[in-house]
Amino acid sequence: MRNQRGDDIGVVDAFCENLDGKGLTDRIISSRPDVLGFNCSTHTFLDVIPVLEEVKRKIPSVVTILGGYHATFASENILKGYPCVDYVLRGEGERSLVQLLDCIEGRVSIGEVEGACFRENGQVKCRDFQLIQDLDSLPFPARDLVSRVKYGYTHQGVPLTYGRLTTMSTSRGCPFNCTYCSCAALSLKRWRPRSAENVVEEIEGLNAEGYEDCVLVDDNFTHDPKRVERICDLIRKKGIDMRGPG
């Protein structure tokens, strides 16, 4: 998004910074954003709402946006039941968030925003979301925006990761339809990979920046075994010295 717009962007990882509702609310209010976006899951949704309500009370002009799995599947109920939420963006947000910000500034109409759910004349309306097919076209994550957070995993006080840690996604979606999993619904049962070359380019950059561990968060990393082998071959060829905790 930063290569498409000139916004001043801040990211808060409330979970990893161990912020409670008040701490997160205070952080947001102190920065006085024009637009506030939340990625929320089902188990965090009821914690997000009081934060949004308080922020709206203190900064009435702020535009609030929800995205993520829970927001995607409960978009209409959220907009009907929670006035503190102005918009819901369903599906993947790399394109639609830019479109929505352009809409807020009056450059495009809300009808042009992919996956947008909004209120109009007392009714909730939603646009279909579109999957991003060419994942190689997306820029690498702006990890500098969360550089203050020290990521890692522990179990009962025992560290499971060592050194500087990050996560990355080399593909999106899953073609299967397991009843306990929401991945198929969000990805429309389509698996979309990044190329092995694009994946290893990011890993090589992480290695150069001093990252030592990398956790893959794909829905289905091994769906194409030949792609996995190509990634491994390129990592060996380039002499990248990193590990993924297991």
Shared-domain flag, residues 36 and 114: yes
Whole-number pLDDT of residue 40: 86
Q: 68, 99, 126 — which closes off a domain?
A: 126
| Between 153 and 77, residue with greater pLDDT | 77
Containing H/E element for 80?
helix 75-81
Whole-number pLDDT of residue 163: 86
- Cα 73 to Cα 67: distance, rounded to the nearest angstrom: 10
Owning domain of residue 178: 135-238
Q: pLDDT over 90 for what percent of the chain?
A: 78
What mean pLDDT is predicted for residues 130-158?
A: 91
* Confidence (pTM): 0.91
Shared-domain flag, residues 33 and 119: yes
Specify if 213 maps to a domain. yes
Specify if 57 maps to a domain. yes
What mean pLDDT is predicted for residues 44-68?
A: 96
Count of structural domains, the chain: 2
Whole-number pLDDT of residue 180: 85
What mean pLDDT is predicted for residues 78-83?
A: 97
| Between 52 and 161, residue with greater pLDDT | 52
> Which CATH number do you get for residue 115?
3.40.50
Shared-domain flag, residues 103 and 146: no
What digits encode the pLDDT tens for the residues 84-100? 999 999 999 999 999 99
Please count the other Cβ atoms lying within 10 Å of the Cβ belonging to residue 193: 21
What mean pLDDT is predicted for residues 39-58?
A: 94
Positive/negative CA dihedral, 180, 186, 191, 194: negative
- Cα 89 to Cα 66: distance, rounded to the nearest angstrom: 6
The pLDDT-based confidence of 1 (bands split at 50, 70, 90) is low
Whole-number pLDDT of residue 9: 93
Whole-number pLDDT of residue 184: 85
Indicate if the pLDDT at residue 175 is higher than 50.
Answer: yes
Q: Can you tell me whether residue 108 is helix, strand or coil?
A: coil
What mean pLDDT is predicted for residues 162-170?
A: 91
Whole-number pLDDT of residue 246: 47
Shared-domain flag, residues 148 and 230: yes
Task: Please check whether residue 202 is in contact with residue 140, taking contact to mean a CB–CB distance below 8 angstroms.
Answer: yes
Return the biggest CA–CA distance within the chain. Answer: 59
What digits encode the pLDDT tens for the residues 6-29? 889 999 999 899 999 999 999 999
Indicate if the pLDDT at residue 65 is higher than 60.
Answer: yes
